[in-house]
Amino acid sequence: MSTISAIAKIKLLAIIVGPLGIGVISQLNSLTSIIFSIIPIGALGLTKFIAEYYHDKKFSELSTLIIYFFLRNIPWAIGIFFLMLIIPDILSKLLFNDFSFSTVIIWFSISIPFGLIMSFIDIYYKGIREINVYIKYIISSSIVTLFLYIPLIYFFKIDGAIAGVVLSTLVNIVIGYFFLKKNRLLPSLKIKARQIQIDKNVRRNIIQIGIAAMFMLTLQQISLLFIKSYIVDNVGLYSVGIFQSVLSISNNYLALFFSVIATYSLPKLSTLDNNKDKIIEINHILKLVILIYTPLIVLLYIFRVYFILILYSEDFLPNNQLLFYQLSGDYFRALSWIFGLWLLPNLKIKQWLIFDLFNSVCITIVSVILFRIYNSIEVFSLAYLITHFIQVIIQFFYIRFSLGFNFLFNNLNVLSISLTYLIVIFIISRMDVVLGYLIVLPSTLLWLVFVVRKTELESIKLLFVSYIRRN
């Protein structure tokens, strides 16, 4: 439901405010991502250890862990809030190359302290892995925030969208608390200050993961913000809206992948003790992702024009050209994430950081070089594809030699056949859209015959049912 809600909000923005409005909102979303890559510090590490404590029924340690890190994140949230109040003109100029959005920045800053609370609620839900309760929470908050957004955007346009961001954080906090209390899952928060002590090794690991994640995610968002600002300076804010619409299409279906990782795979890997079990689990995830993502990406590209019209409007049809590289890059991005899935549970923090540092630097440099040569926003999606293709090769060899990874369940053949199928269909559809329509059904059926077994269809069905309920 959260994915449907996000699509509906984007569609409403596209109709009412057009590419310019999407460009403005996308810049603010990038700013949000940068801020919440800094806070809460230790988010991924908290998810890992909350999962372990909850699994081992160490509820006192779990409560202490949450309180300890929440109290240490409050000053950061307040500091960022006041900083945005002090320098709205600078941020407006940096983000939009225009001073007229200062008021928007001020209103937007209100969401930061509440966003911290919402983040801790989400971390706790993902750590305890009570999926049925989490599904109810996500569905309820998505429905309520969607109905808040509709009148706000319709009557107040961009200002309404900003108000919707602030109100959404409050709604998520209230609804998240309600479902935790109703299902008796609230952690005990009645701990005296002198009792807030946690294991030194746990604290060190969480802080190390937090600092690495903060640096990594900040660098990612700075890279994306740099690219968008580069587009603003060289092509205009309108083109940022076109570029953002492509990113949004990617992010909405990639939400399936990251949702599985956040709510299942990372906590599950954190509870596995030996490398053999982790290799088996990674192969299971790899198989499911290949079987789901391959036809999904093919269908998105074949029917790209219709998806753009459904999700946005005719003004966004120029992004049709970007999707060839963007969707191909998404496929390799998903594979690289799978091959790097074991790093965090194994506390390979330095390696995890190095891989993402390479990714952010590479995509930025390649984007600038290609733009100077071709002077087209299409090259930013091409840079995305090149970067993630290199990334998946590097991470495969690393997991192969460090973890002893090998393909199980016929995964190597499935991956080879699926890549061939995807590449051929993409090239044919790019050359002739109508021919793509004609061959997509028989080619997909042929692909299914070669790669899918009956038991795997059942696994995919269960995954989709779970995802649809949650989103």
Choice between 437 and 58, residue whose per-residue pLDDT is larger: 437
- Please list, in sequence order, all residues whose beta carbon lies within 8 angstroms of the beta carbon of residue 441, skipping any fewer than 6 positions away: none
Q: Quickly state the pLDDT bin for 3 (edges 50, 70, 90).
A: low
Residue-level pLDDT at 470: 47
Q: Which pLDDT score, from 0 to 100, does residue 189 have?
A: 72
Average pLDDT over every residue of 21-49: 74
What CA–CA distance (Å, rounded) separates 233 from 227? 10
Please report the pLDDT score of residue 458 as a whole number.
60
Higher-scoring residue by pLDDT: 234, 428:
428
Tell me the pLDDT band of 175, cut-offs 50, 70 and 90.
Answer: very high
Peptide bond between residue 40 and the one before it cis (omega within 30 degrees of 0): yes
Nearest in space to 112 (alpha carbons), one of 84, 153, 142, 145: 84
Q: What is the Cβ-side half-sphere exposure of residue 457, based on CA atoms within 13 angstroms?
A: 6
How confident is residue 260, by pLDDT bands cut at 50, 70 and 90?
low
What local confidence, expressed as pLDDT, does residue 400 receive?
92
The pLDDT > 70 percentage for the chain reads 85
Instruction: With a cut of 90, say whether residue 82 has pLDDT above it.
Output: yes
- What does the pLDDT read at residue 10? 67
pLDDT digits (tens, 9 = 90+) for 339-386: 988 887 777 878 888 888 898 899 999 999 998 888 888 888 899 999
CA distance 65 to 58: 11
Domain regions of the chain by residue span: 2-470
Average pLDDT score, the chain: 81
Candidates 162, 161, 122; CA nearest to 39 is 122
- pLDDT mean over 148-177: 86
Prediction pTM value: 0.69
Which stretch of DSSP H or E encloses residue 128? helix 111-128
Q: Pick 230 or 194 by higher pLDDT.
A: 230
Residue 8 contacts residue 206 (beta carbons within 8 Å): no
Instruction: Report the pLDDT value the prediction gives residue 56, as an integer from 0 to 100.
Output: 80
Task: Between 148 and 173, name the one with better pLDDT.
Answer: 173
Taking CA 350 as the corner, what is the angle to CA 200 and CA 44, rounded to the nearest 5 degrees? 60
Q: What are phi and psi of 163, to 5 degrees?
A: -60, -35
Does position 276 have pLDDT exceeding 50, yes or no? Answer: yes
